[in-house]
């Protein structure tokens, strides 16, 4: 059931988890989509043409912002083309990434069409990152690496956001100094969320109490004095407050026990019918701060894209 106050869609933003494969194995990940790969999508993603159709349909239905997520979306060879398509359709574009593949060449490809880059940073301690699975072939990014990446993103003109999942292994950490130095516009802090079929059993040792989550939030509230918006999301705030599309092009939610509930495919029944088969609460979306200036519909800026292309040509 969709609770909407819009004639088109209940919320302005949608997360498209277009790519199931990932180069990390985070134990707490609630978007593994192994069930999707096992049952309906063996390759773990739509082909390029179908992914483009999903993006077009989401924009035409009235979503004003599309966030590309995974898995790790930068593993998708045609991600820059999907971002460009969304930009051309007048949609604000965003990316959530673990940062391991975000090199200068990729930043060049995304310049002018991607507005927001969200980097997932859960700890500054290599040992903790390895224990969480936030590693690629055993290698992790240290504090200096994360800081350099965040600064490079900002220097290249992208808007920066940081995501942090709070677990039993990092809830005592103090990331304040790093966050202020990195300078994201927004810092989204999540309470680790157990989802049956996504992180079953693996996540159990990582669960925390509401009091532990609140302790982490309270310790970091002062980053707002530096102009950084701190947005905490406990388990209740996260469920039913997002419009989310899985790698098979279906809406999904986690409002009931037992794992994700999936809609019929958007490409078969359309956005509105598929969206009506899951729960997206506008009230909860607004309560978690989902609506802000950057999520309002904008028109594409060809001048910015062409300027970026010219800049790449002379590099």
Parent domain of 91: 2-313
Q: Which residues of the chain have pLDDT under 50?
A: 1-7, 297, 299-315
HSE-up of residue 228 (Cα within 13 Å, Cβ side): 25
User: For residue range 90-103, what is the model confidence (pLDDT) as tens digits?
Assistant: 999 999 999 999 99
Which CATH number goes with the domain that contains 185?
3.20.20.70
CA angle at residue 205 from 203 to 210, to 5 degrees?
Answer: 85
* Phi and psi at residue 294, to the nearest 5°: -70, -15
Give the DSSP per-residue string, 5-30: SSSS-SSSEEEEEEE---S---TT-S
Strands 13-19 and 244-245: parallel
Whether residue 9 contacts residue 63, with contact meaning beta carbons closer than 8 Å, is answered with yes
Catalytic residue numbers read 22, 26, 29
Taking each helix axis as running N to C, give the angle between helix 48-61 and helix 79-88, from 0 to 180 degrees, rounded to the nearest 10: 30
Q: Using CA atoms, how far apart are residues 35 and 159, in angstroms rounded to an integer?
A: 33
pLDDT at 311: 45
Residue 294 has a pLDDT of 55
The rounded distance, in Å, linking the Cα atoms of 256 and 148 is 40
Integer CA distances (angstroms), 57 to 222, 244, 253, 270, in order: 41, 14, 19, 8
Q: What's the burial of 311, exposed, middle or buried (CB within 10 Å: 0-12/13-18/19+)?
A: middle
Q: What is the pLDDT of residue 257?
A: 86
In the chain, how many domains are there?
1
Our measurement of the distance from residue 104's CA atom to the centroid of its chain's CA atoms, rounded to an integer in Å, reads 21
Give residue 193's pLDDT.
97
| 176 vs 5: CA distance, rounded Å | 37
d(Cα 85, Cα 78) in Å, to the nearest integer? 11
Q: Contact 278/11 with Cβ under 8 angstroms?
A: no
Residues whose CB is less than 8 angstroms from the CB of residue 46 and which lie 6 or more positions away in sequence, other chains included: 18, 54, 247, 248, 249
Percent with pLDDT over 70 in the chain: 90
């Amino acid at each position: 059931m969709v609770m909407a106050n819009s004639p088109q869609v209940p919320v302005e933003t949608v997360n498209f988890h277009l790519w199931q494969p990932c180069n990390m194995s985070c134990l707490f990940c609630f978007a593994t989509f192994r069930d999707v790969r096992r049952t309906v999508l063996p390759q773990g993603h739509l082909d390029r043409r179908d992914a483009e159709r999903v993006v077009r349909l989401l924009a035409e239905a009235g979503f004003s912002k599309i966030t590309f997520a995974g898995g790790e979306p930068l593993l998708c060879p045609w991600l820059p083309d999907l971002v460009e398509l969304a930009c051309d359709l007048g949609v604000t574009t965003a990316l959530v990434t673990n940062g391991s593949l975000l090199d200068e060449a990729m930043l060049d490809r995304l310049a002018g069409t991607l507005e927001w880059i969200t980097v997932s940073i859960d700890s500054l301690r290599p040992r903790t990152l390895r224990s969480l699975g936030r590693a690629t072939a055993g290698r992790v990014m240290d504090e200096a690496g994360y800081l350099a990446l965040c600064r490079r993103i900002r220097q290249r003109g992208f808007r920066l956001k940081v995501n942090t999942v709070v677990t039993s292994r990092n809830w005592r950490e103090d990331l304040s100094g790093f966050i202020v130095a990195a300078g994201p516009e927004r810092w989204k802090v999540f309470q680790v969320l157990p989802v049956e079929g996504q992180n079953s059993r693996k996540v159990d040792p990582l669960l925390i109490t509401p009091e532990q989550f609140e302790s982490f939030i309270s310790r970091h509230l002062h980053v707002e004095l530096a102009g950084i918006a701190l947005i905490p999301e406990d388990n209740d705030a996260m469920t039913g407050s997002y419009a989310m599309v899985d790698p098979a092009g279906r809406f999904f939610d986690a409002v009931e026990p037992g794992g994700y509930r999936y809609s019929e495919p958007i490409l078969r029944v359309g956005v509105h019918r598929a969206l009506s088969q899951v729960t997206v609460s506008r009230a909860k979306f607004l309560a978690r701060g989902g609506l802000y200036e950057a999520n309002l519909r904008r028109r594409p800026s060809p001048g910015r894209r062409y300027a970026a292309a010219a800049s790449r040509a002379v590099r």
